[in-house]
Amino acid sequence: MPACFSAVGTTKFETEIRTDRLTAVSRETLRTASMNRSKPDVALVTGASSGIGLATAKALLNAGYRVFGTSRRANYENVDGITMVPCDVTDETSVAKLVETVLKEAGSIDVLVNNAGIGLLAGAEESSIAQAHALFDVNVFGVIRVTNAVLPVMRKQKSGRIINMSSVLGLIPSPYNALYASTKHAIEGYSESLDHEIRTFGVRVVLIEPAYTRSAFEENVLKPDQPIGLYEPMRFTMSEHLRDQIAVGDTPETVATTVVAAATASSPKRRYTAGKLAGKIRLLRRLVPEAAFDKSLRKQSGLPV
């Protein structure tokens, strides 16, 4: 029998611990949130200081939401009606403080957009375990931390929408992006599974899958901390390719429009591709035979076919 279907005994003591355990958000905050709940609906966007995050926050504001955004910088000022709150998604205390701040000011969290993330362009063996851990700490565990802090609020409300920023690299392989792509594959599996767990509480989880987007994302791309000379020429080629594709990619506003569609849909889809290229890649992945897709990917990446 697969481990995921195995029967595991649970003692009464363990059950009581789970029942009595305080979440990252205090029970007192949850009790008072419903009394302070305000309209319009409230959206929380992580990583909202620039690029896709800022465009998404503005689009949600224009769609009628009261919007809170996060930035790692403690002194980041509010932007165009968006309330900015400092938050480090790798710090559980910081995340808990973020959620309590939003609840005290607005009384609810109706939409969560998990957008904060960093990149890494490197051969898989060019990164130490410490660097890989740092990448996952933001892109995967950061999403889980914020989601876990917000979920008690949404379950109490019996409504909510969690929108996780994935990528077409959560659908396809990407040479010299192995670790980054693996974080997006993780988000795909986590989001789809979580959606089934919490749908009964009136909360839905959806995925946004952009391709190349015109933003300052390359400024948040880490370099390998243990580079290997043999990989350097190809890594440089891939870096130039990434820069060129970003320059002609979709605008952040294209992705933001897709997020608003996902947030406002009465019956949301599981996945939303953002932009024509993302839609094309997803379609090719589904329809093109694996061998042909593999050959095409290597050719476009400049690798021997």
Q: Is residue 182 part of a domain?
A: yes
Q: How much is the average pLDDT of 177-184?
A: 96
**pTM to 2 decimal places:** 0.84
Q: What is the DSSP letter of 175?
A: T
Q: Is 293 exposed, middle or buried (0-12, 13-18, 19+ CB in 10 A)?
A: middle
pLDDT at 96 over 60: yes
The one-letter code for the residue type at 168 is V
Q: Is residue 297 part of a domain?
A: no
Torsion, Cα of 250, 255, 257, 260 (10° steps):
180
The total domain count for the chain is 1
Chain segment 104-149, per-residue pLDDT in tens: 999 999 999 999 999 999 999 999 999 999 999 999 999 999 999 9
Q: Is residue 169 part of a domain?
A: yes
Residues 226, 127 contacting (CB under 8 angstroms): yes
- Gap between the Cα atoms of 37 and 201, Å rounded: 19
Q: What is the domain extent for residue 165?
A: 23-275
Q: Is residue 9 part of a domain?
A: no
Q: What is the pLDDT of residue 245?
A: 81
What residues act catalytically?
Answer: 49, 166, 180, 184
CA angle 89, 93, 94 (to 5 degrees): 45
Least confident of 83-87, 215-219, 271-275, 298-302: 215-219
Q: Is 97 exposed, middle or buried (0-12, 13-18, 19+ CB in 10 A)?
A: middle
Q: Is residue 285 part of a domain?
A: no
Q: What is the CATH number of the domain that holds 175?
A: 3.40.50.720
111-114 and 119-120 beta bridge pairing: unpaired
DSSP H/E element including 70: strand 66-71
Q: Is residue 186 part of a domain?
A: yes
Q: Is residue 17 part of a domain?
A: no
